[in-house]
Amino acid sequence: MDAYSEIIQGARVWQGVLDTNVMVDDLVKAGHRLADAAKVGNWPEVMKVLDSEWSWLVINQWRPGGQAWFTVLHQAAWHGAPTDVVEELLERGALRYLRDAKGRTPFDVAVARNRTTNLRGLLQPPRSSLTDKQVRALDAQLAKLIDGRIQGRVYEGDLRKVLRYPPVEILQELPGQRVWFPMPAKYGFHIELQRGGLEVKSWCGFVEGSGQAHLVTPEGTVLVDQGFV
């Protein structure tokens, strides 16, 4: 196993590319199939798509090119899906902390739609180990770090129009509390939550020795290693 594979092993993939022009056609088609099934509450079809398109899809992605950022779990909350469906989605890795474009978690959607107490209980995010202030600060520092690494190398202009960075909140719900964020030009970011801060390893697959490791805290970012991968 090479250094690249060792770093990302076991991390959850974050599909944060918003620009469908740089996505593989099969990924776009599979994403639309999943979103279409979830939008009408066809849960057998949702599970079928997740099973058949596992090589392309991640359960927490929204419609490719869509602006609402509604995931399957958001749709389950909207429709008031049976509890066994929600339980299966959670077992498959659906995230309760993930927010849509309006800042709503699936739990928020369930409350607004006056869904059952049992459903809301399933969708309630686990207790946070971070304060809201810490989350906002870490999100800002992480965005600043990623911007500095890829601005002008992957995209020109406003990166927020083409990329959605992984929210720090979701790391609290992931096994190992880490995520792998691949993007065009073979750039990638491995992000791990550690004691109220983040360890972020990043590199470009086309450039030997481009690896950098940063320690990110709410107060700032420090380069702790470089030259690997």
Report the pLDDT value the prediction gives residue 4, as an integer from 0 to 100. 60
Candidate CATH numbers 3.30.420.40, 2.60.120.680, 1.10.760.10, 1.25.40.20; the one for domain 23-123: 1.25.40.20
pLDDT in tens, 78-105: 999 999 999 999 999 999 999 999 999 9
Per the CB < 8 A criterion, the answer to whether 169 and 189 are in contact is no
Going by DSSP bridges, is the β-strand pair 187-194/211-217 parallel, antiparallel, or unpaired?
A: unpaired
CA neighbours closer than 13 Å in the CB half-sphere of residue 161: 6
Rounded to 5°, angle at Cα 62 from 174 and 189: 50
Strand partners, 216: 198, 221
Task: Answer yes or no: is pLDDT of 143 > 60.
Answer: yes
How do strand 211-217 and strand 197-204 relate by DSSP bridges? antiparallel
Q: What is the pLDDT of residues 19-61, one digit of tens each?
A: 999 899 999 999 999 999 999 999 999 999 999 999 889 999 9
Question: Which alpha helices (DSSP H) does the chain contain, by range?
Answer: 3-8, 25-39, 43-52, 72-79, 83-91, 106-112, 117-123, 132-150, 168-171
- In the chain, what are the domain boundaries? 23-123, 129-228
147 contacts 159 by C-beta, under 8 angstroms: yes
pLDDT digits (tens, 9 = 90+) for 177-226: 999 999 888 899 999 999 889 999 999 988 889 999 999 999 999 999 99
CA distance 179 to 61: 14
Nearest alpha carbon to residue 14 among 175, 183, 152, 173: 183
Would you state the torsion angle of the CA atoms of residues 184, 188, 193, 199, taken in this order, to the nearest 10 degrees?
Answer: -140
Evaluate whether 52 touches 60 at the Cβ level (below 8 Å): no
Of the pLDDT bands very low, low, confident and very high (cuts 50, 70, 90), residue 3 is low
Backbone φ and ψ for 222, nearest 5 degrees, come out as -125, 130
- State the residue for tokens 């939550």: 193
- Cut 0.85: pTM above it: yes
Using DSSP's 3-state secondary structure scheme, residue 22 falls into helix
